C-alpha cells in the first residue's frame, strides 16, 4: 500500500490534460515536470478512445503517453488481460513494463506481466495464470502463450504496437497480424513507429479504424544538444584511433557501436587488454548476460558499453556522455537512434563517427537521408605519430586483421577436428607482441 503524495499546484500542466491525481503523483515522482510533445499531443486523443498512429522515436516520452492512458483505463476488479503491448526486443519489453509499473504505483491491485523469449516459459506461464491486467511482450513468446492456452486476448480493450518499424525489420509482421486477429475488433489500437514504411501504413490501413495521426519524430532526438563530428581514418588505424579518442575525451559513460556481433566481442576483448573497462551487448548473448550488461552499464560499474544496434533503440540510460560509431550503421535511420542514446533529459552529449575513405560516399548519403549534417573533425585528428608508430605491430597486419585471421584459423582447425571425430582444443598462447609474431611466423609470414 503506497501513500499518495500529491500537491495540486505542482502538476498543473498534466492536470490540464485531465489526468487522475494518482497518475499525476506517480509521474511527478518519475521526474516529469511538464509533458513532452508526444504526451501533450497524444494523451487528449487517446482519452477520446480513437485509434492513433504516432511517428515518434525512443526517448520522446511515448511510453508514458500510452502507459498513462492504459493504466487509467484498467478495471482493477477484473483480472482479465485488458491491454497488450507488443515490442520487438526483450530489453524494450522490460523497460516498458518497468515504466508502466511506476505509473501505476498508486493504483492498488494493478498487475502487469512481461513475457519474452530467452527466459523461463514456466515462470511466465505461472504469472499469466495468476492474472494480469496488462501484458507486455515480444511477438514470438506472446504467440507461444496463446497457443498454450494461458493467454487469452478476447477482453483486450487496448492494443499497442511499439516500435512497429523495428518489428517489421526483424520479420515479426506475420506474428503481429496473428496476434491482432486474436483481439476484439472493438479494441483501441495505438501504433508507434520512428519511420513509416509502406508495410506499416498497410498494417494501419488494414487493422485500424480511422486513426488520428501525429508526428513528433523531429523532437525525439535532441540534435542541437549533441556535438557531432566524424573523423576520416584508414581502416588499419581505426583501433588506434578509437584508443586515442577514449584517452583524449575520457568519457564518463560511453557506448561504442559496431556493425557485427563478432566485432562487438572482439573489440571488447581488445579494449580490455588496453586497460579500458567495458562490457559487451549483442543479440547472441543469453538473456541473463544481456540483463547483466545493461545493469552494470546503467549502474555505472563499467564506463564503456560495446554494442551492436540492439542498443540503438529501446535502451534508455541516463548519463551517457559519449556515443562512438566504430562502424557506420548499415541502416541510415539507426544513426539518429544511436546518437540519441546521449543528450538525454536535456543534457548535452558527444557523438563521434569513424569513417574510412571507402565509406565516405555512404556516410554522406546517410546524412542526406536522415537530414543531419555532421562536421568533419580536422583539428586534433587521430593520426599515427611517432609514439603510435612505436606501438604498431611487427608485421604488416593491422590489429583488426590479426585477430580476424587468428579466429578464422582457430575455427577451421576446430571444424577439421570435428570432421575427424575428436574435439580440438586450441593451444592458448601468450597475448604478447612476441607471441603473436611467433604464431604468424610459423604460418610463413614475416
Label each residue of the chain as H, E or C: CCCCCCCHHHCHHHHHCCCCHHHHHHHHHCCCCCCCHHHHHHHHHHHCCCCEEEECCCCCCHHHHHHHHHHHHCCCCCCCCCEEEECCCHHHHHHHHHHHHHHCCCCCCCCEEEECCCCCHHHHHHHHHHCCCEEEECHHHHHHHHHHCCCCCCCCCEEEECCHHHHHHCCCHHHHHHHHCCCCCCCEEEEEECCCCHHHHHHHHHHCCCCEEEECHHHHCCHHHEEEEEEECCHHHHHHHHHHHHHHHCCCCEEEECCCHHHHHHHHHHHHHCCCCEEEECCCCCHHHHHHHHHHHHCCCCCEEEECHHHCCCCCCCCCCEEEECCCCCCCHHHHHHHCCCCHHHCCEEEEEEECHHHHHHHHHHHHHHCCCCEECCCCCCCCCHHHHHHCCCCCCCHHHHHHHHHHHHHHHHHHHHHCCCCCCCCCCCCCHHHHHHHHHHCCCC
- Let me know whether 204 and 117 are in one domain: yes
Check which CATH number belongs to the domain holding 115 and give it.
Answer: 3.40.50.300
pLDDT in tens, 176-194: 999 999 999 999 999 998 8
- Whether residue 22 sits in one domain with residue 62: yes
Domain endpoint, select from 169, 193, 219: 219
Q: Is 1 contained in some domain?
A: no
Q: What is the per-residue pLDDT across 278-336, written as a single tens digit (0 to 9) for each?
A: 999 988 888 788 888 988 998 899 999 999 988 776 676 878 999 999 999 887 778 88
Question: Residue 308 domain-assigned?
Answer: yes
Domain presence at residue 15: yes
Percent of the chain with pLDDT over 70: 77
For residues 321 and 384, state if they share a domain.
yes
Above 70 in pLDDT, residue 258? yes
pLDDT in tens, 94-129: 989 999 999 999 999 999 999 999 888 999 999 999
Question: Looking at the domain assignment, is residue 2 inside a domain?
Answer: no
**Is 3 within a domain?**
no
pLDDT at 338: 87
Does residue 59 sit within a domain?
A: yes
What pLDDT score was predicted for residue 221?
Answer: 52
Domain boundary among 219, 243, 271: 219
Average pLDDT, the chain: 82
Q: Give the total number of structural domains in the chain.
A: 3
pLDDT tens digits for range 347-359? 788 999 999 999 9
Q: Are residues 292 and 416 in the same domain?
A: no
Residue 154: predicted pLDDT: 96
pTM of the complete model: 0.63
Do 317 and 413 belong together in one domain? no
- Boundaries of domain holding 120: 8-219
* Residue where a domain terminates, one of 180, 197, 219: 219
Amino acid at each position: 500500500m503506497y501513500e499518495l503524495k500529491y500537491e495540486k499546484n505542482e502538476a498543473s500542466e498534466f492536470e490540464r490534460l485531465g489526468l487522475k491525481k494518482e497518475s499525476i503523483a506517480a509521474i511527478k515522482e518519475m521526474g516529469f515536470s511538464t509533458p513532452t510533445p508526444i504526451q501533450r499531443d497524444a494523451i487528449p486523443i487517446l482519452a477520446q478512445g480513437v485509434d492513433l498512429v504516432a511517428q515518434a522515436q525512443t526517448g520522446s516520452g511515448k511510453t508514458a503517453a500510452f502507459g498513462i492512458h492504459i493504466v487509467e483505463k484498467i478495471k482493477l476488479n477484473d483480472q482479465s488481460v485488458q491491454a497488450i503491448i507488443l515490442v520487438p526486443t526483450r530489453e524494450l519489453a522490460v523497460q516498458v513494463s518497468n515504466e508502466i509499473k511506476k505509473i501505476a504505483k498508486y493504483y492498488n491491485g494493478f498487475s502487469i506481466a512481461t513475457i519474452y523469449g530467452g527466459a523461463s516459459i514456466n515462470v511466465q506461464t505461472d504469472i499469466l495464470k495468476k492474472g494480469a491486467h496488462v501484458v507486455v511482450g515480444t511477438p514470438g513468446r506472446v504467440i507461444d502463450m496463446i497457443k498454450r492456452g494461458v493467454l487469452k486476448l478476447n477482453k483486450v480493450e487496448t492494443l499497442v504496437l511499439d516500435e512497429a518499424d523495428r518489428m517489421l525489420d526483424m520479420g515479426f509482421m506475420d506474428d503481429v497480424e496473428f496476434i491482432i486477429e486474436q483481439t476484439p475488433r472493438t479494441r483501441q489500437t495505438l501504433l508507434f513507429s520512428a519511420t513509416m514504411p509502406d508495410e506499416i501504413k498497410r498494417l494501419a490501413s488494414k487493422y485500424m479504424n480511422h486513426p488520428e495521426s501525429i508526428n513528433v519524430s523531429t523532437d525525439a532526438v535532441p540534435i542541437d544538444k549533441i556535438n557531432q563530428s566524424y573523423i576520416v581514418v584508414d581502416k588499419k588505424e581505426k583501433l588506434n584511433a578509437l584508443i586515442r579518442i577514449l584517452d583524449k575525451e575520457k568519457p564518463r559513460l560511453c557506448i561504442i557501436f559496431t556493425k557485427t556481433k563478432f566485432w562487438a566481442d572482439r573489440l571488447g576483448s581488445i579494449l580490455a587488454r588496453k586497460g579500458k573497462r567495458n562490457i559487451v551487448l549483442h543479440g547472441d548473448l543469453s538473456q541473463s548476460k544481456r540483463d547483466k550488461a545493461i545493469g552494470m552499464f546503467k549502474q555505472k560499474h563499467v564506463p564503456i558499453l560495446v554494442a551492436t544496434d540492439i542498443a540503438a533503440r529501446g535502451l534508455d540510460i541516463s548519463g551517457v556522455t559519449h556515443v562512438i560509431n566504430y562502424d557506420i550503421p548499415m541502416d541510415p535511420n539507426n544513426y539518429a537512434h544511436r546518437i540519441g542514446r546521449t543528450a538525454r533529459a536535456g543534457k548535452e552529449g558527444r557523438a563521434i563517427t569513424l569513417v574510412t575513405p571507402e565509406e565516405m560516399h555512404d556516410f554522406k548519403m546517410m546524412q542526406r537521408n536522415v537530414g543531419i549534417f555532421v562536421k568533419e573533425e580536422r583539428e586534433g585528428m587521430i593520426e599515427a605519430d611517432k609514439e603510435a608508430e612505436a606501438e604498431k605491430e611487427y608485421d604488416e597486419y593491422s590489429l583488426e586483421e590479426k585477430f580476424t585471421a587468428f579466429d578464422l584459423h582457430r575455427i577451421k582447425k576446430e571444424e577439421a577436428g570435428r570432421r575427424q571425430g575428436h574435439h580440438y582444443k586450441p593451444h592458448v598462447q601468450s597475448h604478447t607482441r612476441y607471441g603473436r609474431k611467433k604464431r604468424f611466423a610459423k604460418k610463413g609470414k614475416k
